Amino acid sequence: MRAQVCIIGGGPSGLLLSQLLHLKGVDTIVLERQSREYVLGRIRAGVLEHGFADLMREAQCGERMDREGEIHHGFFIAHDGKLDRVDLARHSGGNSVVVYGQTEVTRDLYAARDRMGGKVVHNAEDVTPHQVDSDAPYVTYRAGDDVVRIDCDFVIGADGFHGVSRKSIPKGVLREYERVYPFGWLGVLSRTKPVSPELIYCKHDRGFALCSLRSQVLSRYYLQVPLTDRVEDWPDHAFWAELKRRLPDAVAAMLVTGPSIEKSIAPLRSFVAEPMRYGRLFLAGDAAHIVPPTGARGLNSAASDIYYLYHALIDHYERGDDSGLDAYSGKALARVWKAQRFSWQLTMMLHRFPDHSDYENRLQATELEYLFSSDKALGSLAENYVGLPF
């Protein structure tokens, strides 16, 4: 089998690139290890920056997002008994974010790929890139007893943090930077009215909490928990009780609780692999970099990779111009590191660090005091939260 571009991973990065390239006449195949139900069962991102939303529209996948997604012009930070609002629009020159779940983004991308006859292979086992440092790369995968070979011009590694693509780059070529945080986020999705129309990030002595939402009838809440905790340790009643303890009293009094329809723990990690290109293999999204979810940057950083890669591939196919491909890794990483910095800063500002001294705790509180006393500091927060330009 042959495709111009073979994409490993059918998450949002891989599907978005496939869809954008298809609309420009470039032939792609997407190889996904899991079933579609499994991919759509994962509950992850909820906040999309406007650049991501624009890319969805360009991919002709923005219709439902524009109809059902909510535009948010601000969010709250609860700290020291106060509830301060970050006015994104005011501090970022009128920008906003879209609250629309990654699950729905992925569903819309799958629907578009199906509508246009896109090739998406699910349950592809043992996906392996070969000879990516040559002019004739290929990818193999197993479907039952059959081994299928796909010859291609380029291989895109969009297979997430645990994928095979990054691992196929020789150790001596790749440099990895990592920080693992000593806690995770326990997330609950519930069919209840959200406690607030806008997100609330809560810094509390017992640990961080986040009130988010998917719609006005679907809530998403998170609690900072130790890495040793398991989902079984958190029956619904314990989750709601702990969430109430961490929210300001007035907010806790409004909280509507109900049965969880999804509950999972995500460890927090910062990670970057450099470079994001090896020969004809290009990494994109979580395959190359991870951020803690505090700044809502992960999926949005994946989108900027896809933007650069899409334009670089189109320049290659339409004009024989490889300058975009050559610049890809450097350009993508420059933006990735800014998202790393922002996510790290917000994580450090809002979480409880078990090994911090009183001195560090006072500094942390001062960060927030400074933030809400300075329009310049709020401007910096807002421009990063809505997304730096691609």
- Residues 3, 5, 6, 9: which binds ligand FAD (CB under 6 A)? 9
Segment interacting with ligand PHB (CB under 6 A) among 112-120, 139-147, 262-270, 293-301? 293-301
CA distances from 366 to 79, 348, 349, 360 (A): 11, 12, 9, 10
Q: Fill in the per-residue mask, 75 to 114: x = in contact with ligand FAD (CB under 6 A), - = not in contact.
A: ---------------------------x------------
- Which burial class, exposed, middle or buried, applies to 304 when counting CB atoms under 10 A from its CB (0-12, 13-18, 19+)? buried
CB of 298 to ligand PHB, least distance (A): 8
CB of 18 to ligand PHB, least distance (A): 24
Characterize the bridge pairing of strands 289-290 and 138-143.
unpaired
Residue placing its CB nearer to ligand PHB in the complex, 69 or 157: 69
CB of 355 to ligand FAD, least distance (A): 24
CB of 253 to ligand PHB, least distance (A): 22
Q: Which residue has the tokens 């790369």?
A: 137
Residue placing its CB nearer to ligand PHB in the complex, 270 or 329: 270
Instruction: Tell me the C-alpha distance between 307 and 58, whole Å.
Output: 11
Q: 275: cis peptide before it, omega within 30°?
A: yes
Residue 178 phi/psi, 5-degree rounding, is -145, 145
Q: Which does 220 bind (CB under 5 to 8 A by kind): ligand PHB, ligand FAD, none?
A: ligand PHB
- Asked if residue 198 binds ligand FAD (CB under 6 A), the reply is no
CB of 250 to ligand PHB, least distance (A): 21
Burial 191-213 (b: 16+ CB within 10 A, else e): ebbbbbebbbbbbbeebbbbbbb
Q: Fill in the per-residue mask, 145 to 184: x = in contact with ligand FAD (CB under 6 A), - = not in contact.
A: -------------xxx-xxx--------------------
The answer to whether 344 and 270 have CB atoms below 8 angstroms apart is: yes
Map the footprint of ligand FAD across residues 243-302, applying CB under 6 A.
266, 285-286, 293, 296-300, 302
171 token code pair: 């150790």
- Asked if residue 212 binds ligand PHB (CB under 6 A), the reply is yes
- Asked if residue 129 binds ligand FAD (CB under 6 A), the reply is no
CB of 232 to ligand PHB, least distance (A): 22
CB of 296 to ligand PHB, least distance (A): 4
Cα angle: 243, vertex 244, 247; to 5 degrees = 90
Residue 83 three-state SS? strand
CA 132 from centroid of its chain's CA atoms: 26
Residues 6+ apart with CB under 8 A from 333: 272, 274, 275, 276
Instruction: Tell me the C-alpha distance between 318 and 303, whole Å.
Output: 22
Interface with ligand PHB: number of residues (CB under 6 A) = 9
Residue placing its CB nearer to ligand PHB in the complex, 45 or 378: 45
Segment interacting with ligand FAD (CB under 6 A) among 4-12, 111-119, 169-177, 347-355? 4-12
Write down the number of H helices and E strands in the chain.
Answer: 12, 20
Site for ligand PHB, rule CB under 6 A: 45-47, 199, 212, 220, 293-294, 296
Site for ligand FAD, rule CB under 6 A: 8-14, 31-34, 39, 44-47, 102, 124, 127, 158-160, 162-164, 185, 187, 266, 285-286, 293, 296-300, 302
